[in-house]
Structure 1
Amino acid sequence: MSYLRVIMNRLRERSGASQSGHEPPAMPYSPLSERVLEKHLQTYREHLQACSDAMLPYEWAWLEDHLATLQLSSGQGAMQKVLGGPQRVADLLRETQCFQAEVRGELSRRGLGPGIRTAPLAAQEHAWELSNPAIRQEWGIDQAESLPG
């Protein structure tokens, strides 16, 4: 399967497309307002603050992958359509870049760095959602750590 096809499938999964290949009905999209963005950032900050030190490098790597996918999508009409159009892709890019700044800040506050990616990611799961025991173990995230949220 081509890399582009893998990305398209990931985007469909993230946007809620069914496994049968049928797209969900298009919902009207309202651009991301500053108020809504700040609300998302506040929730994101709360999740980050509740993360263990081991969870933060995972979240950094997850966001890097997510951002790369969105950047690729921004130049592809079909991929933009899957995500809800060019405005939605632009908003997702902006939001993801803000999330990256939050992770960078949290890493810095704890005296940590993003580190080197050493293990796989779960495409659908932020660090606090990570349910795969093997991936948790590879990232050094203890199973006993409580997951916020």
Structure 2
Amino acid sequence: ILAGAIAVIAIYLVAVLDKGLKLGLMSRLAQQVIIVLIPPLALIFLVLGTIFLGIATPTEGGAMGAVGALILAAAKRRLTFDVVNQALAATTRLSAFVMFILIGARVFSLTFYGVNGHLWVEHLLTSLPGGELGFLIAVSV
């Protein structure tokens, strides 16, 4: 039903814009605004709209955004091998950064646990005035 509604709206917009362009009703600025604003807004709706409407999970929404960005780049004739290669390199670099952060966090947590840091923190928090209830009050404030 949603896909049908989106198709009807898209057909209506194309018909209205095409008639407006042929009759000269739209100014040049309005044409440029429509051409510049509609694709990014459609891409944002493709990702966030489908997630908030419950059509897609965040992972699926991200995949839809990636495919939508590829379609937009192809429609603007900017999709070349170099652009895809640069995007792949940037994505790989970002994924490596995230992995190094996760590895560093794991090493820190194992070291912290190895020197009984969890017991130090537990003793520190239970030594607060009021004990466990005092800790809950301090955290709540």
TM bucket normalised to smaller: under 0.3
The TM-score normalised by the length of structure 2 is 0.23
Higher helix proportion: 2
Greater relative contact order structure (CA < 8 Å, 6+ sep): 1
Larger of the two Rg values belongs to structure: 2
